[in-house]
Amino acid sequence: MSALLPLLAVTCGEPAGVGPELVATLAKHSVAAHLVAIGDRELIASRANALGIPAVLRDWAPGLPREAGCLDVLHVPLAEPSLPGVLNAANASHVLAILDAAIDGCVGGRFDGMVTAPLHKGVINDAGVAFTGHTEYLADRTHTDRVVMMLAGGGMRVALATTHLTLKDVPAALTAESLRQTLQILHADLCRRFGLANPRILVAGLNPHAGESGHMGREEIEVISPVLDALRAEGMELIGPLPADTLFTPHQLERGDAVLAMYHDQGLPVLKYASFGGGVNITLGLPIIRTSVDHGTALDLAGTGRADPGSLHAAIGCAIEMVSAQRRGHA
């Protein structure tokens, strides 16, 4: 790895989606990092050529220095040819091989972090592989018991206490232990990977008006507040539980470095309204750095040239920030 520039793996994701063409745009995207695209070299080249994207590709090997105007590629061949917008379950093994190459490179110290383009969970399951998503796969492959999803954009960082659950299942999943672990992971990574010495975390309540003193629900009294009090006693700066309908106002947001929302659609609609097309999905709690785009495979846009690379570029910028902060902490 370069002693100066972060070396980042960038996965191409689902070959039928927009990932390969978004990755191709990186050949001319100047950043303070050495980027290595992981995917099928010919697929990246063909998408670039079809869309008129100027992309000079070079086979990457460890120790190869960065060359301006050139995108290094760690070639992982397709199982079968891929057409834009046309899913093929035969290529599920290719998508997982891309992920494995990036994870192994990060765990082995060859890469400083990884940035992921979108994949399609359904087609991987159609291939007979039980797969629930990038986050869960990364946790399993790195032997991590618990991870936290955080999105950043629009001047906000929003982490989630629960993720992809139906609304009726959220209260039961919101236990004191799970909330404590989530806040500890969030606090630790804000310190370690964002360089915040004493991060201030705004914590949303679960119920309208944060429960209205128990008149609109008791989770704030019985679960959330006791956890916050215990962690405050350990030195964490936690503000809340706050009513979610006023938490995302400028006055409140300026008091904190990150927000913890209790469920998916409590926090993410606000962030995505403020940042869509430029948001970043970050997995906290892993032994490696991982950021991702905040959108899906966009099969309808694949091969049209209309896909916006803004979120991928933002995810790379965020990964660079995280690597730099971690290096400063180790200096």
Known binding positions: 134-135, 164, 209, 264, 272, 281, 290
* Pair of tokens at residue 331: 């200096």
Query: Maximum CA pair distance of the chain?
Result: 63
Torsion of CA 198, 269, 289, 53, to 10 degrees: -130
Q: What are phi and psi of 56, to 5 degrees?
A: -95, 120
Q: What are phi and psi of 233, to 5 degrees?
A: -65, -20
Say how far apart CA 148 and CA 185 lie, in whole Å: 7
Q: What are phi and psi of 109, to 5 degrees?
A: 85, 5
Say how far apart CA 253 and CA 296 lie, in whole Å: 28
Cross-strand bridge partners of residue 59 = 73
**How many helices and strands in the chain, by DSSP H and E?**
13, 12
237, 200 in Cβ contact below 8 A?
yes
Residue numbers in the known binding site for substrate are 134-135, 272, 281, 290
* Pair of tokens at residue 285: 């709690």
Residue numbers in the known binding site for a divalent metal cation are 164, 209, 264
Say how far apart CA 116 and CA 98 lie, in whole Å: 10
